[in-house]
Amino acid sequence: MITSKLPNVGITIFTQMSQLAAQTGALNLSQGFPDFDAPRALCDAVGRHISNGHNQYSPMTGLPVLRQQVAAKIARSYGVQVDVDTEVTVTPGATEAIFCAIQAVIHSGDEVIVFDPAYDSYEPSVELAGGRCVHVQLGLNDFSIDFDKLAQALSPRTRMIILNSPHNPSGALISRAELDQLAALIRDRDIYVISDEVYEHLVYDGVPHVSVLAHEELYQRAFVVSSFGKTYHVTGWKTGYVVAPPALTAELRKVHQYVNFCGVTPLQYALADFMAEHPEHVEELPGFYQAKRDLFCDLLAPSRFSFTRVSGTYFQLVDYSQIRPDLNDVEMALWMTREHGVASIPISVFYQTPPEGQRLIRLCFAKREETLREAAEKLCVI
């Protein structure tokens, strides 16, 4: 008999829905990944670096040239200087960065506050560290932080709060005022912050992303995590980074060096080249994805789904209460995939206790125009 360390964990809904989409031939708007190619220059650079012999271990902290590009991008985007050697670490995916940050500072019995709906990797990572997640629900309609609920959830055992902005699955953004409020709330407490900002460059309607990197007070206790996968359309490369003050970075690296030691070398070289040669990529990304969001939402306008255009991420939540209020969201997602050929993600899976009567599913619009048109056509006849 195996005594599981994660008895409540099965295969994730993302795997399940992607498998069902493949089996049924449905359009897969469930898992978050583009169905279009990454920039040619970026892909070509990988081949070049492999041919040129960049095939051995990279430094544990990440290639210096890539860390320099990350620091330069942070300076351009947020106007802050981070130290390339002591504050930036390249990791195999944002997921590994989050896992290592949690293992680095969470001890047995510690509590970690997560905001529901929450990305699914946080809780198992906390449990493996011997900690316990305390779930605080975001606002039902706008997915903003309820500071009264947050204050009530704090205890002497609270050791970490995990933020995610732009927020998966809702697309909501954290404001500077909210970060200030959070900073004031935890000022005299021994609490770390993970700020999961993997969608930092996917923000729309001219609203800038508010990064914890630019919040002097919160940054002192924060691990700020991002993902090259989301920014450069290469989710399968599983390459990300984490920025944290030197003392926190040192602790994180102690874990990272025994979880994976380093990221994939030729991918890091390719990303460094591309970032140096195409700094405009990041600036053009909001416009690129906003056009997809708007196309998809315009096409969905005649449907019976109701929705508000998202402010960030490449996910659009839609409410189906006018279509099949009798189905819960998991049933709805299965029914839509099997009967109508479009796979989605039910958002109840992001909750410890899903709100009663919520009828929301998540659709990924990181897709080619043809895919979005075909999907919308199917969704408009449901």
Ligand X SMILES: Cc1ncc(COP(=O)(O)O)c(C=O)c1O
Residue nearest to ligand X (CB): 93
Q: Determine which residue in the list 62, 229, 266, 346 makes contact with ligand X, applying CB under 6 A.
A: 229
Exactly one of 18, 30, 103, 235 binds ligand X (CB under 6 A); which one? 235
Question: Which of 95, 125, 211, 337 lies at the binding interface for ligand X (CB under 6 A)?
Answer: 95
The nearest distance, CB 159 to ligand X, in angstroms, is 20
Task: Give the footprint of ligand X on residues 19-78 (CB under 6 A).
Answer: 32
Rounded to a whole number of angstroms, the minimum distance from the CB of residue 73 to ligand X is: 16
Nearest approach, Cβ of residue 86 and ligand X (Å): 22
In angstroms, what is the minimal distance from the CB of 351 to ligand X?
Answer: 15
**Which residue from 34, 62, 240, 286 is in contact with ligand X, where contact means CB under 6 A?**
240
Tell me the closest approach of the beta carbon of residue 381 to ligand X, in angstroms.
29
Q: Say how many residues touch ligand X, by CB under 6 A.
A: 14
Residues 189-228 touching ligand X, rule: CB under 6 A, are 196, 198, 227
Spell out the SS3 assignment of the chain.
Answer: CCCCCCCCCCCCHHHHHHHHHHHHCCEECCCCCCCCCCCHHHHHHHHHHHHCCCCCCCCCCCCHHHHHHHHHHHHHHHCCCCCCCCCEEEECCHHHHHHHHHHHHCCCCCEEEEEECCCCCHHHHHHHCCCEEEEEECCCCCCCCCHHHHHHHCCCCEEEEEEECCCCCCCCCCCHHHHHHHHHHHCCCCCEEEEECCCCCCECCCCCCCCHHHCHHHHCCEEEEEEHHHHCCCHHHCCEEEECCHHHHHHHHHHHHHHCCCCCHHHHHHHHHHHHHCCHHHHHHHHHHHHHHHHHHHHHCCCCCECCCCCECCEEEEECCCCCCCCCHHHHHHHHHHHHCEECEEHHHHCCCCCCCCCEEEEECCCCHHHHHHHHHHHHCC
- Among 123-131, 183-191, 232-240, 362-370, the segment contacting ligand X (CB under 6 A): 232-240
Q: Does 238 contact ligand X by CB under 6 A? A: yes
Does residue 119 interact with ligand X by CB under 6 A? Answer: yes
Applying CB under 6 A, the residues found at the interface with ligand X are 32, 93-95, 119, 164, 168, 196, 198, 227, 229, 235, 238, 240
